[in-house]
Amino acid sequence: MGSRWKGKGAEVKALADPISEIVSQLQSSLISSNSKGLLSGTGVLLKADAELTDLLNRACFGRPRVTSEKNEQWFQLSTEEAFYLQHSLKCIKIVDHNDTELNGDKLWKHMTSSRENFPILFKAFSHLRSKNWVVRSGSQYGVDFVAYRHHPALVHSEYAVLVLSAQDGNAHGRLKVWSDFHCTLRLCGSVAKTLLILDIEEQQSCATSPSCLDNYVVEERTITRWSPEQGREKNVKSDPRVK
């Protein structure tokens, strides 16, 4: 399918301003401001000054929340985003409503207790983020994530991402029956995205500690429809042996 840039100049703009650098700046800024994320429902709230607001928006982490207070901007991070900043980039702390810090196994327990499949979803999220893809929720398209080559203001999302895991039997997972398969491919086609399957192979169970994430193996597969016409030669000269 390839990248679909939004308007002229978008690609040049994106190349001049790589996501990797924006995320680096965000990381430094969060560390120097000693940022704390506050557990709230299924997500994490993060207070941001003007500089942080700009960096979070440009790096595409979280969504700005409307608040009644002036000069105060809060961002709502998904659990994957918050855990990526805390665990992978080590640039925020996460606290509960008593301002008690949760880290290591305790935070892991919190994340996995609310969502059983958090380990494999987080592995997929961090796998793509570490390769500098911008990763957003895919619920609008009935997939787990969508992945952008750069900021969604500059480019349409390129991949619709489904995260599967063979180990858990995938009994309630996706693509177990042909009709689901057809449905997903047809939808991806109609919104001009490529279906990317991330198959997470768990070497050991992730019950108690996030350290197991290092042993997960991620297998990437893209799935596209094959059209018989694609393989056929175009502009073929008539065979001289055929009279």
Q: How far is CA 103 from CA 47, 111, 127, 200, 228, in A?
A: 19, 11, 21, 24, 53
Which listed residue (141, 148, 159, 216) is catalytic? 148
d(CA 21, CA 19): 5
Is 156 a known active-site residue? yes
Complex with a copy of itself: residue 95 or 223, whichever CB lies closer? 223
Q: N- to C-terminal Cα distance for the chain? A: 40
- Stretch 180-199 residues interacting with a copy of itself (CB under 8 A): 180-187, 190
Choice from 120, 162, 196, 197 touching a copy of itself (CB under 8 A): 162
Per CB under 8 A, which region of 65-73, 178-186, 197-205, 230-238 contacts a copy of itself? Answer: 178-186
Count of residues of this chain found to bind a copy of itself when the rule CB under 8 A is applied: 25
Shortest spacing between CB 162 and a copy of itself, in angstroms: 7
- Stretch 140-159 residues interacting with a copy of itself (CB under 8 A): 140-144
**In which order are the strands placed within the sheet that holds 73-77?**
63-65, 73-77, 43-48, 36-40, 93-95, 101-102
- Closest by CA to 160, choosing from 179, 174, 176, is 174
Per CB under 8 A, which region of 70-78, 134-142, 200-208, 221-229 contacts a copy of itself? Answer: 134-142
d(CA 118, CA 133): 19
| Torsion over CA: 155, 159, 160, 163 (sign) | negative
Is 193 a known active-site residue? yes
Task: Count the residues in the chain.
Answer: 243
Choice from 4, 106, 131, 176 touching a copy of itself (CB under 8 A): 176
Per CB under 8 A, which region of 61-69, 76-84, 138-146, 205-213 contacts a copy of itself? Answer: 138-146
The binding site for a copy of itself (CB under 8 A) comprises 138-144, 162, 171-174, 176-187, 190
Active site residue ranges: 148, 156, 193
